[in-house]
Structure 1
Amino acid sequence: MSGYIGEVTALLFLAFALGLDAFSVGLGLGMQRLRLKRIALIGMVVGLFHIIMPFLGILFGTMISKQIGSLTTLAGGLLLVGIGAQMFFSAFNYRVKKMIQPIGLGLYLLALSLSVDSFSVGLSLGISGVKTAIALMLFGLVSACLSWMGMLIGRKVEGFLGTYSELLGGSILIAFGLHVLFG
């Protein structure tokens, strides 16, 4: 029993580490005056992608080369920098409609960029023989909760910062994207 608790505890810490990027990006997204319904949907999609990506990593781990993995990390980082830059610069012009929003394809691209690191974790999970279903559920649940927390905190901060919140939110997304690219 203690071995099972130790394994679940280790998976919980791993899930928390994987979900921290969703929290960081959630802070920036929350400053966009998102409705609670949109926040709930974004968190669910991010959580779902944190289940799908490690599952795909487990399934296709031996078939995928390291070079393809580095290209997905590059694409995810560039996407976050692009969303952050668009958000940052749109703060200077209130007439400009936001081009990239967490709806439709933009939401799925955002969730994909946040869960790319989960894919590589899935590769190692398949090799280690860990309890896959528990790991995947923990990854999804923790990342969804952390993204919700980030967006709700970002939403509150936006009220205090007013027009500067969009600059801060964009800066957070740019910084996280650069961290994905170069960190």
Structure 2
Amino acid sequence: MNFVSIFFTSLALAMDAFAVSLTKGMTLKEINYKIATKIALFFGLFQGIMPVIGWFLGVRFEGYIKSIDHWIAFSLLGFIGIKMILGSNEKEDRCDFLITNKELLILSIATSIDALAVGVSFAFLSIPIAPISTSIAVITFLFCFIGVLLGRKIGPIFKSYSQIIGGIILILIGINILNEHTSIISNILS
């Protein structure tokens, strides 16, 4: 795999985590470089580790992983998105002072399940996983760090709607992941 392919694979895998980071930047009350770094580290580490796990699982569990990965991601993102929307009328302007490690863990897993499946594919293609997983982790970290800070800037524009917008974004990411793997929406519209 050449550098350009690795870069674009990394970029594609980072997009869901970037969108969630942007959402968290919009909805958290207190954002600073430490919090942005924490969020970016969670997403970067999980995006980098999951392809390695998938690569080692390889042939043994490919069918099982590919058959349910999209449902897990959809369920986790949908749950958190609905929770954000329902909590929007309880709080003013922005959601919380800090994001919990538990929430970051759930979001990191949900947005990196596709990276696990990619790792399985790389095992079948006999592609070395170390340079790709490193690239995925670094690019995801950078995009998520920028996403949190960008979200902080645009969050006040949306004020009390940022929780609802953030929840809708998470649900839409979940639906998109589900649709990419099952074409449910295409089948409904046909």
1:55 corresponds to: 52
1:3 corresponds to: none
Matched, 1:24 2:33: no
TM-score (norm 2): 0.83
Equivalent of 2:82, from 76, 82, 85? 85
Query: Is contact 1:56-1:122 (8 Å) kept?
Result: yes
Query: Is contact 1:84-1:170 (8 Å) kept?
Result: yes
Assess, with a 3 A threshold, how the Cα gap between structure 1 residues 152 and 133 changes in structure 2: closer, same or farther. same
Distance in structure 2 (CA, Å) of the matches to 1:60 and 1:29: 32
2:31 corresponds to: 35
Matched, 1:66 2:63: yes
Query: Is contact 1:18-1:117 (8 Å) kept?
Result: yes
Assess, with a 3 A threshold, how the Cα gap between structure 1 residues 102 and 77 changes in structure 2: closer, same or farther. farther
Q: For residues 38-69 of structure 1, what are the alpha-carbon distances to aligned partners after superposition, in whole Å with 9 as ceiling and x for unaligned? A: 22111111111111110011111111042343
SS of equivalent residue, structure 2 residue 89: coil
Question: How many angstroms does 1:182 deviate by?
Answer: 2.4
Query: Is contact 1:29-1:154 (8 Å) kept?
Result: yes
Identity over aligned pairs, percent: 28
Question: How many angstroms does 1:102 deviate by?
Answer: 4.1
Q: For residues 130-163 of structure 1, what are the alpha-carbon distances to aligned partners after superposition, in whole Å with 9 as ceiling and x for unaligned? A: 3422111101011111122222211111122211
Distance in structure 1 (CA, Å) of the matches to 2:12 and 2:68: 22
CA RMSD across the alignment: 2.0
1:180 corresponds to: 177
1:9 corresponds to: 4
Question: How many angstroms does 1:181 deviate by?
Answer: 2.1
Assess, with a 3 A threshold, how the Cα gap between structure 1 residues 132 and 19 changes in structure 2: closer, same or farther. same
Distance in structure 2 (CA, Å) of the matches to 1:136 and 1:54: 6
Deviating beyond 3 angstroms after TM superposition, the runs of 4 or more aligned structure 1 residues are: none
Question: How many angstroms does 1:104 deviate by?
Answer: 2.3
Question: How many angstroms does 1:105 deviate by?
Answer: 2.3
Distance in structure 2 (CA, Å) of the matches to 1:155 and 1:102: 14
Query: Is contact 1:56-1:119 (8 Å) kept?
Result: yes
Query: Is contact 1:78-1:181 (8 Å) kept?
Result: no
